[in-house]
Amino acid sequence: MRRRDFLKAFPVLASLPAIPHLNGARIKITGVRNLELKVSRDIGSYPDWQGNPRTIKIGGGAILEIQTDQGLTGIGPGVDPSLVAGVERLLVGSDPFDVDLHAERLYDLRGGVSAPGYRGSAGAEIALWDLIGKATGQPLYKLWGGGRNRIAPYASMLRLSTPEERADIAVKLKSEGWQAIKYRCSFPTLKEDIRLVEVVRKAVGSDWTIMCDANKAPLNYASTQGVRWDFTRAAETAKAYQQLDVYWLEEPLPRYDYDGLAALNRLVEMKLAGGEGNRGVHEFRELLERGCFDIVQPEVMLEGPTHLRKIAVIAESMNKLCIPHVGDGRLGTICDLHLIASWPNAPYIEIFNDRPIGNYEYPFAVFENPPVIDKEGYFNLPQGPGLGMAIKKEFLT
């Protein structure tokens, strides 16, 4: 039977869009470029928990485009300009479906911990996956076997403020449907860290989830910013938070204090979380094998989606959770959303939402149909192919 006759017999199949990769010719990558986005509005800035200014704009930054000989273009977070030539050298002329090979070569290109942070070549891997989703006509979470079409975000706070102001924000978020909030517990004294949660818990009641982030594992191992904790301070804080029904305590000790983290985790019943700056599948395996964390939090902008998928499987095999770090607030975070929807051990996605300046809507404003939290406290998964996101024309230069 000829293909056209076969399709006539099954009208539904005939209506499906053609899939370039399966049309006889394999897709070939022809170009890679960073595309700067226009800034449409300056929102302002606010200090994070260390006093560093966080500047918020609508627009700005960059995306990476991977172009093909069949007219498809994958998009991902922009990479550091110094990496574009290397990404192009690795990818041009190749088949995007060789994604495992590309992911490891791109990871090598990042150069380990010396790579340019969140503008490393993980953005190119995300663009490859977006391209593969477009070629197959599937959203990434479906391509990765995901069965959930909505995910609960938690509102991640960055500022230190009064307990009363933090409680007011929590009450407002709860009334809008948000299911959980995470605070920075980096006050000078243990008493202040505990009072923050006491005031918030009283305001929101016992039926709402609170997490706390100590941020004691900076990317720069030698960093002296912020309040240092020793094991005693970490243990006393964890025990107090446990009594206040805090869901997890994040990064209570330095990144490579495996022995201290494991000892603390044995000491308390509440969950310990961390790993946003750890690098490589092997480090996450060691963290889990040593019993350091109940929740691992790999960062997609450092590791790339291929590594995150492997880390999530390792965590699942040990009955642990994998809840990624926030991503870049744009396409990296959208990639996290698709990843999480394909994992059974990921109940939340982290979203920066520290109002009034740090609203999550501002980074998402570059998208034509951005995720929006519904009244039940969920983001619906994008249903378009790949990441399912398109950039508004007004931001394209």
pLDDT at residue 64, rounded to an integer: 98
Residue 14 identity = A
DSSP state of 23: S
pLDDT at residue 7, rounded to an integer: 40
- Side-chain half-sphere CA neighbours of 228 within 13 A: 7
CATH topology for the 3-138 domain: Enolase-like; domain 1 (3.30.390)
pLDDT at residue 226, rounded to an integer: 73
pLDDT at residue 266, rounded to an integer: 98
pLDDT at residue 112, rounded to an integer: 43
Nearest to 149 by CA among 341, 309, 333: 341
Residue located via tokens 């990404």: 87
Gap between the Cα atoms of 260 and 57, Å rounded: 40
Tell me: the pLDDT tens digits for 253-279? Answer: 998 999 999 999 999 999 999 999 899
Residues of the chain with CATH 3.30.390.10: 3-138
CATH architecture of 142-395: Alpha-Beta Barrel (3.20)
pLDDT at residue 397, rounded to an integer: 75
- What Rg do the C-alpha atoms of the chain give, in angstroms? 22
* 8 Å CB contact between 218 and 225: yes
* 8 Å CB contact between 272 and 295: yes
DSSP state of 17: P
The helix-helix angle for 258-267 and 231-243 (nearest 10°) equals 30
- DSSP-based three-state secondary structure for 272: strand
Gap between the Cα atoms of 218 and 252, Å rounded: 11
pLDDT at residue 225, rounded to an integer: 64
**Can you give the pTM of this predicted structure?**
0.92
pLDDT at residue 156, rounded to an integer: 98
pLDDT at residue 396, rounded to an integer: 93
- DSSP-based three-state secondary structure for 105: helix
Instruction: Tell me, rounded to whole angstroms, the distance of Cα 254 from its chain centroid.
Output: 21
Residue 36 identity = E
Gap between the Cα atoms of 383 and 387, Å rounded: 8
Helix locations, 71-121, DSSP H:
81-91, 99-110
How many CB atoms are closer than 10 A to CB 41? Answer: 11
Residues of the chain with CATH 3.20.20.120: 142-395
Q: From first to last of the 397 residues of the chain, give the pLDDT tens digit.
A: 444 454 454 444 444 444 544 455 799 999 999 999 999 999 999 999 888 899 999 999 999 999 999 999 999 999 999 999 999 999 999 999 999 999 999 998 865 433 567 888 999 999 999 999 999 999 999 999 999 999 999 999 999 999 999 999 999 999 999 999 999 998 999 999 999 999 999 999 999 999 999 999 876 554 556 788 999 999 999 999 999 999 999 999 998 999 999 999 999 999 999 999 899 999 999 999 999 999 999 999 999 999 999 999 999 999 999 999 999 999 999 999 999 999 999 999 999 999 999 999 999 999 999 999 999 999 999 999 999 999 999 999 7
DSSP state of 367: B
**Widest Cα–Cα separation across the chain:** 77
> Each residue of 134-171: b (16+ CB within 10 Å) or e?
bbbbbbbbbbbebeeeebbbbbbbbbbbebeebbbbbe
